[in-house]
Amino acid sequence: MILRFWFNWTQIVAILTLVACSSGPSVKDTQTGENPAPIIENSEGRTVDATDEPTDTRSTDFTINRALIDTFKLKSASHLTPSDWKTLPDWHIDELSAGATTLLQSCVVLKKYLEWAEVCAQAQFLSDASSDENRQFYETYFTPYTVNNEDGSSAGMVTGYYEPLLHGSLQPSAEYPYPVFGIPSDLMSIDVNQHPEAKTFRGVGRLVGEHFTPYFTREEIDRGLARLEGAEILWVKDKVELFFLQIQGSGRIQLENGETLRLGFGKTNGHPYRSIGKSLVEKGELKLSEASMQGIKRWGQDNPDRIDALLHENPSYVFFRRLPSNLNGPIGSLGVPLTPNRSIAVDNSFIPYGFPVFLSTTWPNTTNPLNRLMFAQDKGGAIKGAVRADYFWGFGESAATNAGKMKQRGLMWVLIPKGYSTNHSTNATTNN
């Protein structure tokens, strides 16, 4: 079968000429234990440790231009080095056709950029194409770049998140006493570039007289110090489940009448995320292997008189917004629905939103390879650093189990359209 995105030679020359002349142009970490570095088999059958540096097959012909950095507000591109498709473990066997619709979701946002226009136009034909034809598409339009940490290493941490289900009510009661808040009316954001003193709390706060001050912490909100009357969306049964709803960043709430509501991330209070699992390990309350979401919940059940103090160690607090119930998935920071097993959360100061990312890691609590093309469609308060990903497992008990156990090492390659190479364009432009 010959795909519709392949052209005759006249068209190819015309497209290459146009590209050569073109100018270049918004939750989740609950684990704390560290598993041994996974053993990964690359596409040539060689067994490698995930802490090893990938084989250096970079080409000096591809250098990222300033357009990518400026358009997506990256810290720099120094953490990205040109690579080769042969270095991506199991690239040749990934069922890429399963990710075609996820790429189209990214294209909803990215197609406005000149470097993405042709890519997204041709991606419309991928849903009906085979995985091999999808592979040919990526190898034609993209260049893989190895993602490195700021210290030069290439291995990082991969955790998981999911969409939880809680039981709730639209009215408070003894059974449903814990409010889920929408965005407070006095919550404000300022530009940290103009006000660097606000970087500590991410430019989020409130006005007290004429002074901008950090917003209330989790403990202060729980004590009722914030003015949140009228901001309640609904109420839930369990404070620990509510805490993890905030960690996940989105979820579903089943009401007493059987109706299910969907909640999405609204804003945070700006305070830094602190891992309560890590705290329990440091205090000797849990072993490293027990510090999963499930382990923390069990600790809370065994220590009900100490749970408030533990939760308050994390000052970060998430406010929600109600979403349409008919969405295909929760809305990520990119603004599109997330796809189970194909969407990841990243630090978008290193990885541009929406871009394909090949992830090489292992299944939760195993050394079994999990090598898959993903898409950077979300971010999270605990997701910091270049080689750092939060894997979206979806909805349901199986997703919750995998997300709760996942804390693996992994490698990442971001796939960048060839239009961002200095061989193709130099300035930032968009299609309006």
How high does pLDDT run on average in the chain?
Answer: 85
For 351, residues 6+ apart whose C-beta sits below 8 A from its C-beta are 147, 357, 376, 386, 412, 414
pLDDT score for 422: 64
Q: What DSSP string runs through 370-381? A: EEEEEEEEE--T
What's the pLDDT at 425? 39
362 in the same domain as 235: no
Q: What's the pLDDT tens digit per position in 248-292?
A: 999 999 999 999 999 999 999 999 999 999 999 999 999 988 888
> 36: phi > 0 → left, psi -120 to 50 → alpha, else beta; which?
beta
> The domain spanning residue 281 has which CATH number?
2.40.240.50
Residues ≥6 apart with Cβ < 8 Å to 204: 187, 188, 189, 198, 214, 215, 267, 268, 269, 270
Does 397 lie in the same domain as 340? yes
Q: Is 72 found in the same domain as 210?
A: no
Range of the domain at 201: 175-323
Instruction: Kindly state whether residue 431 falls inside one of the protein's structural domains.
Output: no
Residue among 250, 243, 223 nearest 345 (CA): 250
CB count within 10 Å of CB 69 equals 18
Co-location of 118 and 201 in the same domain: no
> Number of folded domains in the chain?
2
Give the confidence band of 62 by pLDDT, cuts at 50, 70, 90.
low
More confident residue, 4 or 310: 310
Give me the sign of the Cα torsion angle 274, 388, 34, 343. Answer: positive
Taking the C-alpha atoms of residue 102 and residue 417, their distance in angstroms, rounded to an integer, is 16
**Most confident range, picked from 6-15, 208-217, 361-370:** 361-370
Domain boundary residue, one of 304, 323, 342? 323
Which pLDDT belongs to residue 423? 55
Residue 274 lies in a domain: yes
Task: Let me know if residue 14 belongs to a domain.
Answer: no
- Tell whether 392 and 309 lie within a shared domain: no
User: Contact, 364 vs 405, CB < 8 A?
Assistant: yes
- Does residue 12 lie in a domain region? no
Instruction: Tell whether 225 is covered by a domain.
Output: yes
Q: pLDDT grade, residue 325 (50/70/90)? A: confident
Asked whether residue 203 falls in the same domain as residue 221, the answer is yes
CATH of the domain at 366: 2.40.40.10
B/e letters for 392-423, b = 16+ CB within 10 Å, e = fewer, are bbbbeeebbbbbbbbbbbbbbbbbbbbbbbee
Among the candidates 288, 323, 358, a domain finishes at 323
Same domain, 299 and 341: no
For residue range 77-120, what is the model confidence (pLDDT) as tens digits?
999 999 999 999 999 999 999 999 999 999 999 999 999 999 99
- Do 40 and 137 share a domain, yes or no? yes
Q: Which amino acid is at 140?
A: T
Q: Both 56 and 139 in a single domain?
A: yes
Looking at the fold, whether 43 and 131 belong to one and the same domain comes out as yes
User: 319 and 292 in one domain?
Assistant: yes
Q: Which of 274, 289, 323 is the last residue in one of the domains? A: 323
Task: Verify that 270 and 252 share a domain, yes or no.
Answer: yes
In a domain, 8, yes or no: no
Predicted confidence band of residue 244 (pLDDT cuts 50, 70, 90): very high
- Domain assignment present for 13: no
Evaluate whether residue 287 is within a structural domain. yes
Name the β-bridge partners of 30: none
pLDDT band at 351 (very low <50, low <70, confident <90, very high): very high
Cα-to-chain-centroid distance, residue 210: 36
Per DSSP, 113 falls in state B
